[in-house]
């Protein structure tokens, strides 16, 4: 089968067994791979009433039809499960090398079911598959786990890809994630906690000879070059040359940088966190993913301040935001250290940032005191106390056990005014590292999303194809809703392929050409677009059965509050909120009262059997 290995690996941890399961071409064409295939398995095999920690929950990680080809970003991997934060459908992706190595080991995906009595890790190599004892790995962070597995099995750097959980996942921290290839993260909606509940410490896949059969490899080579050229010019080439390292000053200027837990939008030290300053200062070195020539991912050594000598990966924008302005911490070296330590402990940097920022505001206002926090003085910007608190959360020690449930739970448990200071949605998940009061599209997206995180992305090459207003007024309620509803499914296509959307920018036309060059299917552009919308609506139907109904699509008081300063202080979203949701549901083809896709939407996307 061209573009596909024609099978997934089944793993039953309860029985300690693994076996191959064939994939048919019709299924692959309907779902492509990655998120689509994972959602199919979740819907078919996990009753929505099943709790995320039940052994009956599955854990799927998969590549797609472009996996292991020369298309940039094609080594990404998509994780699908019933997540610990929302207890609903989860789709989150990580870049790196795993997706390519998995395909070369002759699997499109891995589906894990059941739970083990003792800790295990899964090892794929040229001679087969092994479930190996992981007891010696317990307590190790994600970087230590990666090193230990490679040493145990005799692999050097880049000859194996390892994705694992840290102490946070072992201790079922609700916002723990899965991390690999030196800090690439699949961290949204508690994927790490699901792995921990199954006593599965890691996945390790060896790099073997590429055995993929492709219909038109020459055409794929042309499309790979075209994709790279698009990345070099899209948005002036900023992402290609700098990744997200230069976003923080721009975010502050636009009023969407989270500062001091949304108490202000002003961060005078913003330029200290600019990648153009930090990269040369901190001796950075490019460490690219497979088949990617962009300078998005760097390793660096801190060269000034109290954390001098610390070595780790360059923080992504969201990490800079969490461990700089969000906790009002002004040393870039400390932000490098904290962001890497959060990854190593195995926690989502976004939720961890909202938790720590909320604790600091509670400490500032007297709602939490030193004795409540196991002796920690949680003043703004206190790096040592922040690191200690993060470790307490990861190990569920003291007040860390409460915080390990996420900011919504912690705020509601403490009660009083503290609930009004926490940033979350009614579904329990939280936004990425932005002040969405200055990014209305992402606030709407985060709240209505059925993935437990962002569901779409405005980085779309074909704005006319997806009917995104252009130019767009980011504070016009109608424009915002049109952009969100019309582009819904664009990023899902990338997540089904699986392709990093910082390399492809959701270029659906080129992606369609690449699918056909790999598989020989001759899919139309409309058919590919329907795949994205089909998967979005499958998640919606599944989550409605879970109980994630429209009444939970609400922002917390602080999340949708009016900015007190900065460029957006006169642009409140609250007066428009209900009308925006009305319009969004209408454009999506969903019933406003129940949230359920309308019969015509279900029919158009061929979801009749699933909808029953």
CATH 3.40.50.620 is right for the domain spanning 7-206: no
pLDDT over 90 percentage in the chain: 98
For residue 10, CA distances in Å to 21, 112, 131, 179 come to 7, 6, 12, 21
Q: What is the mean pLDDT of residues 75-100?
A: 98
Instruction: Please list, in sequence order, all residues whose beta carbon lies within 8 angstroms of the beta carbon of residue 233, skipping any fewer than 6 positions away.
Output: none
> How far is residue 359's CA from residue 363's CA, in Å, rounded to a whole number?
6
Over the stretch 135-192, which tens digit does the pLDDT of each residue have? 999 999 999 999 999 999 999 999 999 999 999 999 999 999 999 999 999 999 999 9
| CATH number for domain 436-611, candidates 1.10.357.10, 1.10.599.10, 1.10.3720.10, 2.60.410.10 | 1.10.599.10
Over the stretch 41-81, which tens digit does the pLDDT of each residue have? 999 999 999 999 999 999 999 999 999 999 999 999 999 99
Quick one: pLDDT at residue 1?
86
Is the pLDDT reported for residue 296 higher than 80? Answer: yes
What share of residues in the chain are helix, strand, coil (percent, to 5)? 45, 15, 45
Is the pLDDT reported for residue 583 higher than 90? Answer: yes
Q: What is the mean pLDDT of residues 581-591?
A: 98
Is the pLDDT reported for residue 126 higher than 80? Answer: yes
pLDDT over 70 percentage in the chain: 100
Q: What is the mean pLDDT of residues 259-275?
A: 98
Quick one: pLDDT at residue 211?
83
For residue 188, CA distances in Å to 60, 86, 185, 400, 439 come to 14, 10, 9, 19, 20
Q: What is the mean pLDDT of residues 17-38?
A: 98
Q: What is the mean pLDDT of residues 566-571?
A: 96
Any idea where the domains of the chain sit in the sequence? 7-206, 221-421, 436-611
For residue 502, CA distances in Å to 72, 93, 266, 293, 316 come to 9, 12, 28, 12, 12
Quick one: pLDDT at residue 97?
98
The whole-model pTM stands at 0.98
CA atoms in the 13 A half-sphere facing the CB of 502:
22
DSSP of 219-280, one letter per residue?
Answer: HHHHHHHHHHHHHHHGGGGHHHHHTTTTHHHHHHHHT-S-BTTTTBS--TTGGGG-HHHHHH
SS3 535: helix
Q: Closest Cα to residue 206, out of 368, 97, 55, 47?
A: 97
Quick one: pLDDT at residue 459?
82
289: which DSSP letter? Answer: P
CATH code of domain 221-421: 1.10.569.10
Per-residue confidence band for 249, with pLDDT thresholds at 50, 70 and 90: very high
Quick one: pLDDT at residue 457?
81
Q: What is the mean pLDDT of residues 464-475?
A: 95
Over the stretch 478-532, which tens digit does the pLDDT of each residue have? 999 999 999 999 999 999 999 998 999 999 999 999 999 999 999 999 999 999 9
């Amino acid at each position: 089968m061209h573009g596909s290995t024609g099978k997934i690996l089944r793993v039953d941890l309860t029985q300690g067994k693994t076996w191959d399961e064939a994939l048919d071409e019709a299924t692959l064409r309907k779902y492509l791979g990655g998120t689509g295939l994972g959602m199919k398995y979740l819907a078919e095999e996990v009753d929505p009433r099943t709790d995320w920690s039940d052994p009956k929950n599955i854990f799927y990680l998969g590549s797609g039809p472009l996996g292991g080809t020369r298309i940039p970003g094609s080594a990404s991997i998509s994780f699908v499960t019933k997540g610990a934060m929302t207890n609903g459908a989860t789709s989150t992706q990580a870049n790196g090398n795993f997706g390519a190595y998995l395909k070369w080991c002759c699997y499109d995906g891995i589906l894990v079911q059941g739970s083990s009595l003792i800790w295990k890790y899964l090892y794929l190599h040229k001679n087969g598959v092994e479930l190996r004892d992981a007891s010696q790995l317990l307590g190790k962070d994600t970087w230590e786990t990666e090193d230990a597995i490679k040493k145990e099995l005799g692999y050097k750097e880049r000859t194996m890809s390892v994705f694992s959980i840290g102490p946070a996942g072992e201790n079922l921290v609700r916002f723990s994630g899965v991390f690999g290839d030196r800090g690439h993260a699949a961290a949204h909606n508690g994927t790490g906690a699901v792995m921990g509940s199954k006593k599965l410490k890691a996945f390790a896949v060896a790099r073997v000879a590429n055995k993929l059969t492709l219909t038109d490899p020459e055409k794929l080579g042309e499309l790979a070059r075209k994709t790279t050229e698009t990345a070099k010019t899209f948005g002036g080439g900023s992402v290609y040359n700098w990744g997200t390292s230069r976003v923080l000053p721009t975010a502050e200027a636009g009023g969407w940088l989270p500062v001091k837990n949304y108490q202000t939008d002003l961060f005078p030290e913003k330029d200290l966190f600019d990648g153009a300053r930090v990269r040369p200062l901190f001796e950075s070195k490019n460490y690219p993913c497979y088949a990617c020539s962009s300078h998005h991912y760097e390793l660096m050594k801190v060269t000034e301040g109290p954390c001098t000598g610390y070595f780790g990966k360059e923080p992504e924008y969201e990490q800079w935001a969490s461990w700089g302005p969000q906790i009002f911490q002004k040393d870039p070296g400390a932000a490098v250290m904290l962001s890497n330590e959060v990854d190593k402990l195995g926690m989502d940097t976004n939720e961890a940032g909202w938790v720590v920022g909320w604790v600091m505001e509670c400490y500032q206002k007297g709602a939490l005191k030193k004795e409540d926090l196991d002796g920690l003085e949680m003043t703004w910007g206190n790096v040592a106390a922040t690191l200690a608190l993060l470790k307490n959360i990861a190990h569920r020690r003291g007040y860390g056990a409460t915080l390990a449930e996420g900011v919504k739970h912690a705020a509601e448990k403490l009660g009083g005014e503290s609930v009004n200071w926490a940033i979350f949605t009614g579904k329990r998940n939280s936004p990425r590292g932005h002040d969405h009061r200055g990014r209305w599209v992402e606030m709407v997206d985060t709240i209505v999303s059925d993935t437990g995180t962002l569901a779409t992305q405005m980085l779309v090459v074909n704005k006319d194809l997806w009917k995104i207003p252009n130019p767009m007024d980011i504070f016009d309620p109608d424009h915002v809703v049109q952009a969100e509803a019309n582009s819904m499914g664009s990023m899902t296509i990338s997540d089904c392929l699986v392709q990093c959307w910082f390399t492809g920018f959701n270029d659906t036309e080129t992606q369609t050409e690449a699918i056909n060059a790999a598989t020989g299917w001759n899919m139309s552009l409309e058919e590919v677009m329907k795949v994205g919308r089909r998967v979005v609506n499958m998640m919606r139907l599944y989550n409605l059965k879970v109980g994630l109904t429209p009444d939970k699509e609400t922002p917390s008081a602080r999340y949708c509050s009016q900015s007190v300063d900065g460029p957006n202080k006169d642009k409140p979203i609250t007066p428009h909120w209900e009308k925006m949701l009305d319009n969004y549901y209408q454009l999506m083809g969903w019933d406003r009262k129940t949230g359920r896709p309308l019969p015509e939407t279900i029919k158009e996307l061929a979801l009749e059997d699933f909808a029953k």
